[in-house]
Amino acid sequence: MKKGKEWIKGLWKEHPVFRMLLGMCPTLAVTTSVINAIFMGVAVIFVLFFSSLIVSLIRKLVPPQVRIAVYTVIIASFVTIVDIYFKANFPQMSKALGPYVPLIIVNCIILGRCEAFASKNRLIPSLIDALSIGIGFFWGLVVLGAIREILGTGRVLGIKILSASYYNPMVVMILPAGAFLVLGGLVAIMNKLEGR
Amino acid sequence: MRFNLKGIFVLAITCSLCGFLLSLVYSSAKDKIKDNQKKAIYQAIEKIAKGYKEVVPIKVRSIDVYKLIDEKEKIMGYAFLVEGQGYQDKIKILGVINKSGTTLKGIEIIDSKETPGLGARIGEEFFTSQFKNLKVFPSIQLTQKEKVKNNQVKAITGATVSSTAVVNILDKGIKELREAGVFND
């Protein structure tokens, strides 16, 4: 049980965005809307899951001197697959996310989990860890995206939440500054909840 | 020494396997991506040009050109796809120009990987709208101040390289079309 808890800490206790403050570049840049956040989150879950799978499987075969290079090649491959898939099936989203999909390659969450967890653990724990961190990242982005989209445009996923009759959208929220404001607020709330 | 050899071996195997996997994925998605690009071009033409009935794609030197034909079967203008180096990567631009090749009807950025928040703003309305009814003869000029002539475009603050790239790519493309005699008939 104790071990199991260790594996799913990414969902809350060691949340990658709000507790560890990892992967800030996509977090701040693509969360202008919920739909962007969803696509980014799914892409990261996919890459994290499959990279952890491969890295965990080959962990005994890879000599330590070349491990980072090997992990990077593996991660880059899965990122490219996601990029090609988005380009082929969701061209609009691919355009909206721009360079941030290819940039998942250098997302420290993924290399971090491969290096810190998947390369030292068996397959099943590695997969659970990857999923928990991935889902944690996903909900982090979606919450951030939702708050920014509601405050910045008054709508979520194209559905009107706040009517223009009583709410004047705060454009700053969908600008970069808004990302920092919302992220700061959420990190503060997380810290308060965790009692630190 | 043996250890290093193993490292090289593992890395080489990983790279070739990944390369193989990627080529498989790419070849299966290639046609769809091409289709999407084509669709994006036609959508862009639709957005900029008005009143045409038919689009006939032709090739002029290495540039993709689309003849816009009106109701009376006459050429009313051309759309053309040009690309060139931007700040980070290639910028692909679709422009629509009048029949005599003197005035742009508008442009649309089809593909760019410029810096988000700075260079990427070349795709935004406030910048692309400057190319609406822009005189391109003898050439387009980029200015850092407010535009005073009707062949001038105001650069984006903090993104001079990207702004310059867009203007140069368009200018070069239009000149090439002019030299090829597209606007003569």
From B7, B14, B32, residue closest to A74, measured CB to CB: B14
CA B87/CA B163 separation, integer angstroms: 9
Q: Please count the structural domains in chain A.
A: 1
ipTM: 0.76
The pLDDT, as a whole number, for residue A91 is 87
Could you give the angle at the alpha carbon of A86 between the alpha carbons of B63 and A69, nearest 5°?
Answer: 100
Question: Does any domain span residue A93?
Answer: yes
Question: Does any domain span residue A134?
Answer: yes
The pLDDT, as a whole number, for residue A160 is 80
Question: Does any domain span residue A178?
Answer: yes
Question: Does any domain span residue A10?
Answer: no
The pLDDT, as a whole number, for residue A132 is 92
Percent of chain A's residues with pLDDT above 70: 97
pLDDT of A173 strictly over 60: yes
Mean of pLDDT values over A51-60:
93
Q: In 3D, which of A142, A116, A140, A138 has the Cα closest to residue A129?
A: A116
Q: Where are the beta strands (DSSP E) in B42-99?
A: 54-60, 63-69, 75-85, 90-98
Residues in A touching B10 (Cβ below 8 Å)? 61-63, 66, 70
Q: Are B130 and B111 in contact (CB under 8 A)?
A: no
| More confident call, A123 vs B115 | A123
From A66, A81, A176, residue closest to B117, measured CB to CB: A176
pLDDT of A170 strictly over 90: no
Residues in A touching B116 (Cβ below 8 Å)? 29, 98-100
Beta carbon pairs, A and B, within 8 Å:
59
Cβ separation of A76 and B18 shorter than 8 Å?
Answer: yes
Question: Does any domain span residue A11?
Answer: no
> Which positions ≥6 away from A155 have C-beta within 8 Å?
A149, A161, A162
Interface test with B, best of A77, A90, A175 (most B CBs within 10 A): A77
- Predicted model pTM: 0.77
Q: In this structure, how many other beta carbons lie within 10 angstroms of the beta carbon of residue B62? A: 8
Residues in A touching B4 (Cβ below 8 Å)? 65
DSSP for residue B116: T
Q: Report how far apart the first and last C-alpha atoms of chain B are (Å, whole number).
A: 71
Residue A164 belongs to domain spanning: 16-194
Q: Are B99 and B76 in contact (CB under 8 A)?
A: yes
| More confident call, B8 vs A95 | B8
Question: Does any domain span residue A96?
Answer: yes
Mean of pLDDT values over A2-14:
76
CA B106/CA B133 separation, integer angstroms: 7
The pLDDT, as a whole number, for residue A165 is 76
Q: Name the band, by pLDDT with cuts 50, 70 and 90, for residue A76.
A: very high
Q: How many helices (H) and strands (E) does chain A have?
A: 8, 2
DSSP for residue B85: E
pLDDT of A1 strictly over 50: no
From A66, A73, A89, residue closest to B18, measured CB to CB: A73
CA A145/CA A34 separation, integer angstroms: 5
The pLDDT, as a whole number, for residue A196 is 60
| pLDDT tens digits along B31-58 | 998 898 888 889 889 888 888 888 888 8
Q: Is B141 helix (H, G, I), strand (E, B) or coil?
A: strand
Q: In this structure, how many other beta carbons lie within 10 angstroms of the beta carbon of residue B53? A: 11
